[in-house]
Structure 1
């Protein structure tokens, strides 16, 4: 791998077969946003790409949780022109196109992570950083011009960029980005939940998050073994699942999540959930064999040494540079894998299960036990069983209470410190005012979103006489956190 610097931007390149490929990588993604500005990085990317002329070579751009990439392949002069155009656009975004590109984003409807990973990250981190993965936010049409300008200035500059190429930099290559300082990534995002639990969400199958050092090769290999066992069990043996996936999410230097997700045949979600948990417990209890580790090592070696993996390897090195991680080349990673023993792999999973989170599809009852035999607890928004007695109480309208017995239990309580709600089934929700991440205005009503993933609908079709509640919320929540419901999607 070769290192150069062009216009203050590190350039990493290595030869690879085929046309010249390039990726301009920025160290920013959805985790760098807030609930109120969610989608702004994607909007910046769209605005920049909208300025380019019609091109007849491969090119694209993408945003995930941690990075934004502008990619292309073609003849050297095409790559030079594309990168110059992207850099020029990022320095002078066409802000008059925000409305059009907001509509395009609404049509695209993309998310920064798959459903299981997204929900697990929100479960772990709350509605901030990585935890924003499961949210669509206020909507692209509610992102302000000021937010776009701020995101571009903070993240899309030379100090937060790395260029990777599958060949030497072509003649005339310029990267005219404004100067800037790379964001400090030395501190890991704090977790909101570090005890084992499970929760229901709208996901296609169960998912498991193991918190720990994402650079720990013992945990890495153990998860690979677990994925293979689940594929053999859930798919090949029982025919209950098609796909078993795994991935990682970085919350800071080394710290983060290893995630496993499965889909499930309709009606078999409960059994697939049980298989996932049982196999994880079995691995932590009985361990892995040297043969299993050898198989995974060989598979990884094949992937890493494939000539088609050059771009991936360069992007891996770029991310390490952007986030202050130590880059290990293929030889170093292969040696680290070879040093992992079966006991180290078993212990890594056993340690990670102490903070394991499980997400399951709706209507699945995860009656599971932890390694010590105690029940795996279900996560609930509020541990309390009673509403506070010192607030204003709101109930459903009289007609609803007469027609529906369940409505008689529903309550909304507004105190000087926050809002509470009790659902007809008895579940409690609470958002303290000092933990509000956003308030959505829906006509005369409000929806209050809290940092810990709880939200409280304060809506006239649920509760009567809400004027005092709405006034209390509006007085307590900073105006910059309030927005009107998006015109680009129906209320849900």
Structure 2
């Protein structure tokens, strides 16, 4: 049973728990509220706020999500009192002197985190704003100032923009939330980079999909049906995949996102894509059979219920309270799930297809009725024409209202200055501009003849400029057109890949030397050791060349 109260003007939800006492302070601000040029500001505030509490005996943490930021603690009642007292004090006097240090911590965290299998879906659906920002690196960290952080805290980390939840016997005695007054922030309005749906984009060897549907018990049951069907078809029946995963997540505006992912070997990717499309088609072709529906409903009820269900639901209830949606309770939600009919789940399947976005292997999914998501721009800038210094490849057009890269086939990638979400200004003069729709244009003086980047700099709004430190970060090859929206999914190789490459190179040298030395001994060469040494390095050279070619393809640096 969830009870509602208030602590220092902050709405508070309390539920009993069978576990240790825990509590979370949830603010209605997250990654989707940022701009690409200041991406990472909420995450940086979270880190700076928690730093003074580091080393405490009790467990505590923070999380910056898509539309919320949560500070969490678990321990005895006195521990919870201590945590929230120190947290509010830290937010009131944010230690901006640690800005540079925590910026490096976050860059290290991002480098080690990599990207999830569905990371690029938001970029293709929403573009480079709002909910699409989660697909991008935290470039804004480079541009943030202490004043930026303090203004962000003042606007978003306020009592009117917060909800406290407590899992335990009640609000601990003495718990205070000394927060400034402010305003409740609405969730961001969704943007769109898709002219038509259902749509697809070529993203890699695995298959992933997401869709947006109204929140409902039927949508939750449909997600369970989809998970069950994918697992049976692609894991049990055919053995084409190892992992099948489906997630249902409320977006905060009355809609929910249902995302699914299925992994595949390179040689099985087309078969897996076909299997996923077949499962989706079957779900919308006819209502589920009673036995199938019963298993899906049972799974949904099991997830929603349980001995500690009321406490487990508190984060979701807090999010709903922050976004002005009905709270409900465990019994009501379980009852609603139990009443879902096959026809209701079938209606969700049909609605889900209308808004579907599919990440497909290179083959694509046009054959299944999915429209290709745009990889080029419909318009191009008329302005000064810059040819490549090499003489071959696309040209760069720099005009008064934007820039375009135009290929020999007349395809273009265009970013207008008024619709530029970020311009990365590298020390070597290279400029990377990204538009609202996610299109990317690279203007590099080393590649384009007589290019004066100052003509671009003075026209780009200063608030979207990020001056990048040190060496240029990974970016698409200048002049890339069709791949302009794809390069973010070609991540730089992480330490694991590099260690694997080094091990492979060492193995190639030693193994190649041993093999050619043995052959030299058998044939009877006078100095088989020399033959072995030469052979080892030749084989290593072949391995290194193959690795570099694969790395280049992974980074998306081949020109379109």
**C-alpha distance in 2 between matches for 1:466 and 1:489:** 18
Unaligned runs of 5+ in 2: 476-560
From the superposition, tell whether residues 425 and 134 of structure 1 become closer, same or farther in structure 2 (CA, over 3 Å). Answer: farther
- What's the secondary structure of 1:343's corresponding residue? helix
- 2:402 aligned with 1:418, yes or no? yes
* Residue of structure 2 in register with 1:236 after alignment: 236
Deviation by residue 1:397-454 (Cα, 9 ceiling, x = unmatched): 1xx33xxxxxx23111123322111357875311122211111112222111101010
* Residue of structure 2 in register with 1:104 after alignment: 105
* Residue of structure 2 in register with 1:320 after alignment: 320
* Number of aligned residues: 471
- What's the secondary structure of 2:44's corresponding residue? helix
| Distance apart, 1:151 and its partner CA | 1.6
From the superposition, tell whether residues 411 and 256 of structure 1 become closer, same or farther in structure 2 (CA, over 3 Å). Answer: farther
* Residue of structure 2 in register with 1:409 after alignment: 393
* Residue of structure 1 in register with 2:206 after alignment: 205
- What's the secondary structure of 1:4's corresponding residue? strand
- What's the secondary structure of 2:312's corresponding residue? helix
From the superposition, tell whether residues 419 and 446 of structure 1 become closer, same or farther in structure 2 (CA, over 3 Å). Answer: same
| Distance apart, 1:297 and its partner CA | 1.6
- What's the secondary structure of 2:153's corresponding residue? helix
* Residue of structure 1 in register with 2:305 after alignment: 305
- What's the secondary structure of 1:287's corresponding residue? coil
**C-alpha distance in 2 between matches for 1:346 and 1:53:** 50
* Residue of structure 2 in register with 1:405 after alignment: none
**C-alpha distance in 1 between matches for 2:422 and 2:234:** 40
1:129-278 to 2 correspondences below 5 Å: 129-167=130-168, 168-185=170-187, 188-193=189-194, 194-201=196-203, 205-213=206-214, 215-278=215-278
TM-score (norm 2): 0.79
- 2:333 aligned with 1:333, yes or no? yes
**C-alpha distance in 2 between matches for 1:329 and 1:438:** 43
**C-alpha distance in 1 between matches for 2:408 and 2:269:** 26
Residues 413 and 440 in structure 2, CA contact (< 8 A), matched pair in contact too:
yes
**C-alpha distance in 2 between matches for 1:8 and 1:489:** 47
- What's the secondary structure of 1:307's corresponding residue? coil
From the superposition, tell whether residues 414 and 299 of structure 1 become closer, same or farther in structure 2 (CA, over 3 Å). Answer: same
- 2:440 aligned with 1:455, yes or no? yes
From the superposition, tell whether residues 127 and 393 of structure 1 become closer, same or farther in structure 2 (CA, over 3 Å). Answer: same
From the superposition, tell whether residues 487 and 271 of structure 1 become closer, same or farther in structure 2 (CA, over 3 Å). Answer: farther
Residues 65 and 113 in structure 1, CA contact (< 8 A), matched pair in contact too:
no
* Greater Cα offset, 247-256 or 40-49: 247-256
From the superposition, tell whether residues 301 and 376 of structure 1 become closer, same or farther in structure 2 (CA, over 3 Å). Answer: closer
Residues 220 and 248 in structure 2, CA contact (< 8 A), matched pair in contact too:
no
Deviation by residue 1:28-78 (Cα, 9 ceiling, x = unmatched): 110111101111000000001111152122111111112111111111111
- What's the secondary structure of 1:36's corresponding residue? helix
* Residue of structure 2 in register with 1:82 after alignment: 83
**C-alpha distance in 1 between matches for 2:64 and 2:357:** 26
Residues 157 and 177 in structure 1, CA contact (< 8 A), matched pair in contact too:
yes
- 2:282 aligned with 1:282, yes or no? yes
* Residue of structure 1 in register with 2:459 after alignment: 476
The structure whose RCO (Cα within 8 Å, separation 6+) is larger is 1
RMSD (Å) for aligned C-alpha atoms: 2.4
Deviation by residue 1:324-346 (Cα, 9 ceiling, x = unmatched): 11122222222222332212222
* Residue of structure 2 in register with 1:380 after alignment: 374
- What's the secondary structure of 2:326's corresponding residue? coil
- 2:395 aligned with 1:394, yes or no? no
Unaligned runs of 5+ in 1: 402-407
| Distance apart, 1:383 and its partner CA | 5.3
From the superposition, tell whether residues 343 and 304 of structure 1 become closer, same or farther in structure 2 (CA, over 3 Å). Answer: closer
**C-alpha distance in 2 between matches for 1:366 and 1:291:** 34
From the superposition, tell whether residues 258 and 432 of structure 1 become closer, same or farther in structure 2 (CA, over 3 Å). Answer: same
Q: Which entry has the higher C-alpha Rg, 1 or 2?
A: 2
Residues 116 and 359 in structure 1, CA contact (< 8 A), matched pair in contact too:
no
**C-alpha distance in 2 between matches for 1:489 and 1:19:** 48
| Distance apart, 1:348 and its partner CA | 1.7
- What's the secondary structure of 2:340's corresponding residue? coil
